[in-house]
Amino acid sequence: MKRFLALILTLSMVLLCVAGCSNQSGGNDDPAGSQGSETPVTENKDPIRIGLSTPITGSQAENGVGTQAAVEIAVEEINAAGGINGRPVELVIQDSKSDPTQAAQIATMFTEDETILAEIGDFASGACMAAAPIYEEAGMVQLSPTASNPDYTLLGEYMFSIFGKTTDEGKFIADYLLKKYLKAENVAVIYVNSDWGVEAYDILSGYCEENGVNIVASETFFEGEKDFNAILTKVRQTNPDTVMLMMSYDSGAVAIKQIRQMDWDVQVAISGLAYSEQLITLAGEDCEGVYSEIGFVIDDSNPEIMEFATEFESRTGFAPNMMMTCAYDAMNMLAKAIENCGDNVTRAAIRDQLFELEGFEGLTGPKVFNEDRTITQRNFKIVTIENGAWKTLTDSDYID
């Protein structure tokens, strides 16, 4: 019996090690540490330590790994240019799995470490909102690249988000994508049963009621669903002219495939959350002609964006999307705010400087905070998939 117990203990320790290593690898990639010798920032000044909570494993891993790479690129650039007021930036990376419980634990870990001065939060609202009370109590900035739930920044003075709110996006989808562009009259909405999905659907249905677009069916599902046939059969009975999918690319690809497999010739639109190369990779030919909207596209005519995109792709092997580019912007904004703090770099000072930051132009557009520490997003464009690539259909002046 003792031998068995010993074996189980050994096994569980090995497993813990494996789990631990996968987290560690994030930390070890810390560019500030590895790049220290090459960069001019070697004045032996205390590093400025920034926490990054992002899903490196789990169902959102791809976005998380991309977010990590984007922030690391920003940090390396900052350090190569002499750091912030001569102090190098050091990242502390933790894997949140995009899981609210995990995000809250990471928040506790970060806030208890006094050397960490601010945090770049999860890109998903659910995780950010779970962690918010902890950051608020400790007085540490949680800067989320893309948390769009309107309630998120209301959870505390230290909560920031830099890519607009679901309300901005919902209005755009209802008024411009569905009504003006697709001329939809009867829409079936299928949305993911998550904080984000339910909120986004509520907002969308509110605006649709205002502008006269008829929502004939609405169905919800849990993340990870692989079989949409039953839902699709059900909504098809209501004869919609457009199916609006509000979900991420992995569910979206499955749903789109199954719509086409049913021989159902219907207009399909999907929320900007799914805008990614992976949607095309996963859904293949079936996603041709699917519409979407996005507040940011990789624009060949902008050299700064292309420089970032090229560097990003050489590291990760895939193109950056909106979330990842926002994460890059978030790190640069934070750096700017910390620079403005001068010698007095404290958690509270960073918060004040961030809030008052003026004239910051990120890759994803100008960033000026509203009273509620969000940014109003108006740069939406309508996009579609044509010949296996995303194509921009309208410019941001489509909003009248």
Nearest-angstrom CA–CA distance, 198 and 315: 35
389 counts as binding other proteins under rule CB under 8 A: no
Phi, psi of 244 (to 5 degrees): -105, 120
8 Å CB contact between 214 and 186: yes
**DSSP string across 285-321:** GGGTT-EEEES----TT-HHHHHHHHHHHHHHSS---
Q: Least distance (Å) from other proteins to the CB of residue 226?
A: 5
12 counts as binding other proteins under rule CB under 8 A: yes
Q: Show the binding pattern over residues 271-290: x = contacts other proteins (CB under 8 A), - = does not.
A: -------x--xxxx------
Q: Least distance (Å) from other proteins to the CB of residue 131?
A: 22
15 counts as binding other proteins under rule CB under 8 A: yes
As beta bridge partners, residue 52 has: 93, 120
238 counts as binding other proteins under rule CB under 8 A: no
Alpha helices in 212-302 (DSSP H): 229-236, 249-261, 277-283
8 Å CB contact between 92 and 111: no
Contacting other proteins (CB under 8 A), which of 9, 22, 310, 395?
A: 22
8 Å CB contact between 151 and 203: no
8 Å CB contact between 131 and 102: no
CB nearer other proteins, residue 14 or residue 154: 14
200 counts as binding other proteins under rule CB under 8 A: no
54: left (phi over 0), alpha (psi -120 to 50) or beta: beta
Contacting other proteins (CB under 8 A), which of 39, 105, 186, 220?
A: 220
Contacting other proteins (CB under 8 A), which of 227, 356, 361, 395?
A: 227
Nearest-angstrom CA–CA distance, 186 and 243: 9
CB nearer other proteins, residue 220 or residue 384: 220
Instruction: Describe the crossing of helices 303-316 and 322-340 by its angle, rounded to 10 degrees.
Output: 110
C-alpha closest to that of 358 among 377, 338, 333 = 333
C-alpha closest to that of 40 among 82, 1, 86, 90 = 82
Grouping H, G, I as helix, E, B as strand and the rest as coil, residue 376 is: coil
**Binding to other proteins, residues 60-119 (CB under 8 A):** 61-62, 65
Q: Least distance (Å) from other proteins to the CB of residue 259?
A: 11
Q: Least distance (Å) from other proteins to the CB of residue 24?
A: 13
CB nearer other proteins, residue 314 or residue 344: 314
8 Å CB contact between 108 and 363: no
Pick the piece of the chain touching other proteins (CB under 8 A) from 6-14, 27-35, 104-112, 347-355.
6-14
* H helix and E strand count, the chain: 13, 14
Contacting other proteins (CB under 8 A), which of 44, 114, 212, 263?
A: 263
11 counts as binding other proteins under rule CB under 8 A: yes
CB nearer other proteins, residue 316 or residue 396: 316
CB nearer other proteins, residue 90 or residue 225: 225
366 counts as binding other proteins under rule CB under 8 A: no
**Binding to other proteins, residues 325-354 (CB under 8 A):** none
Contacting other proteins (CB under 8 A), which of 225, 320, 338, 365?
A: 225
Contacting other proteins (CB under 8 A), which of 222, 361, 391, 395?
A: 222
Residues at the interface with other proteins (CB under 8 A):
1, 3-4, 7-8, 11-12, 15, 18-19, 22, 56-59, 61-62, 65, 193, 219-222, 224-231, 233-234, 237, 249-250, 253-254, 257, 260-263, 278, 281-284
